[in-house]
Amino acid sequence: MSAEPAAVRTAHVDTFARDRLPPPQALPEFLFELPALQLPPRLNCAAELLDRRVAAGDGDRPCVAGHDRRYTYAGLLAEANRIAHVLVDDLGLVPGNRVLLRGANSPMLAACWLAVVKAGGIVVGTMPLLRARELTTIVHKAQVTHALVDARLAGELELARADCPTLARVLSFHGGGADGLEARAAAKPATFANVDTAADDICLMAFTSGTTGVPKGTLHFHRDVMAACACWPPHVLRATRDDVFIGSPPLAFTFGLGGLLVFPLAIGASTVLLEKATPDALLPAIAQFRASVCFTAPTSYRAMASQVAAHDLSSLRKCVSAGEALPAATRRLWKDATGIEIIDGIGSTELFHIFISADEAHARPGATGLPVPGYRAAILDDEGRELPRGQVGRLAIKGPTGCKYLDDPRQASYVQGGWNLTGDAYLVDEDGQFVYQARTDDMIISGGYNIAGPEVEGALLLHPAVAECGVVGRADEARGMIVKAYVVLRPGHAADADMIRTLQDFVKATIAPYKYPREIEFRASLPRTETGKLQRFRLREGA
Ligand code: 3UK
pLDDT at 127: 94
Pinpoint the alpha helices (H) of 241-278.
Answer: 254-257, 263-266
Q: What spacing in Å lies between the alpha carbon of 103 and ligand 1's midpoint? A: 22
Distance CA 177, CA 264 (A): 31
The average pLDDT across 217-243 equals 98
Q: Is the CB of 219 under 6 A from ligand 1?
A: no
The residues, any chain, with a CB within 8 Å of residue 496's CB and separated by 6 or more, are none
pLDDT at 542: 79
- Give the Å distances, CA to CA, from 40 to 43, 68, 117, 204, 542: 6, 37, 17, 19, 52
The residues, any chain, with a CB within 8 Å of residue 35's CB and separated by 6 or more, are none
- Residue pair 456/517 in contact (Cβ under 8 Å)? The answer is yes
Distance CA 93, CA 86 (A): 9
Please give the single-letter amino acid code of residue 351.
L
pLDDT at 3: 46
The residues, any chain, with a CB within 8 Å of residue 63's CB and separated by 6 or more, are 71, 72, 73, 75, 76, 265, 270, 271
Q: Which of 349, 364, 403, 442 to mutate to test the pocket of ligand 1 (most atoms within 8 A of CB)?
A: 349
State the pairing for strand pair 70-72/415-416.
unpaired
Our measurement of the distance from residue 362's CA atom to the centroid of its chain's CA atoms, rounded to an integer in Å, reads 22
Mean pLDDT, rounded, of the chain:
95
Q: Is the CB of 344 under 6 A from ligand 1?
A: yes
Distance CA 291, CA 288 (A): 8
- Residue pair 444/483 in contact (Cβ under 8 Å)? The answer is yes
Q: Is the CB of 218 under 6 A from ligand 1?
A: no
pLDDT at 1: 40
- Give the Å distances, CA to CA, from 133 to 65, 102, 141, 407, 408: 32, 14, 13, 21, 20
The average pLDDT across 97-108 equals 98
Q: What spacing in Å lies between the alpha carbon of 421 and ligand 1's midpoint? A: 12
pLDDT at 113: 99
The average pLDDT across 224-253 equals 98
pLDDT at 68: 87
Q: Give tens-digit pLDDT for 373-387.
A: 999 999 999 999 999
The average pLDDT across 245-251 equals 98
Distance CA 323, CA 345 (A): 8
- Residue pair 297/324 in contact (Cβ under 8 Å)? The answer is yes
Entry pTM: 0.95
State the pairing for strand pair 480-489/519-522.
parallel
pLDDT at 212: 61
Q: Give tens-digit pLDDT for 346-372.
A: 999 999 999 999 999 999 999 999 999
The residues, any chain, with a CB within 8 Å of residue 389's CB and separated by 6 or more, are 427, 428, 429, 430, 432
How many CA atoms lie less than 13 Å away from 254 in the CB half-sphere? 28
pLDDT at 532: 83
Distance CA 31, CA 419 (A): 11
Q: In terms of Cα–Cα distance, which of 313, 359, 320, 321 is closest to 337?
A: 313
Name the helix (H) or strand (E) containing 497.
helix 497-510
Going by pLDDT thresholds of 50, 70 and 90, the confidence category of residue 63 is very high
Q: Give tens-digit pLDDT for 255-307.
A: 999 999 999 999 999 999 999 999 999 999 999 999 999 999 999 999 999 99
For residue 33, how many other CB atoms are within 10 A of its CB?
12
Q: What spacing in Å lies between the alpha carbon of 225 and ligand 1's midpoint? A: 17
pLDDT at 504: 98
| Of residues 531 and 39, more confidently modeled | 39
pLDDT at 209: 67
Residue with the smallest CA separation from ligand 1 atom 25 is 348
- Residue pair 470/526 in contact (Cβ under 8 Å)? The answer is yes
What single string gives the DSSP state of each residue in 451-478?
A: E-HHHHHHHHHTSTTEEEEEEEEEEETT
Q: Is the CB of 173 under 6 A from ligand 1?
A: no
Q: Which atom of ligand 1 is nearest to the CA of 344?
A: 23
pLDDT at 86: 98
Does pLDDT of 47 surpass 90? yes
Does pLDDT of 2 surpass 90? no
Residue with the smallest CA separation from ligand 1 atom 10 is 348
Distance CA 424, CA 216 (A): 17
Distance CA 490, CA 492 (A): 6
Q: Is the CB of 85 under 6 A from ligand 1?
A: no
Q: Give tens-digit pLDDT for 413-468.
A: 999 999 999 999 999 999 999 999 999 988 999 888 899 999 999 999 999 999 99
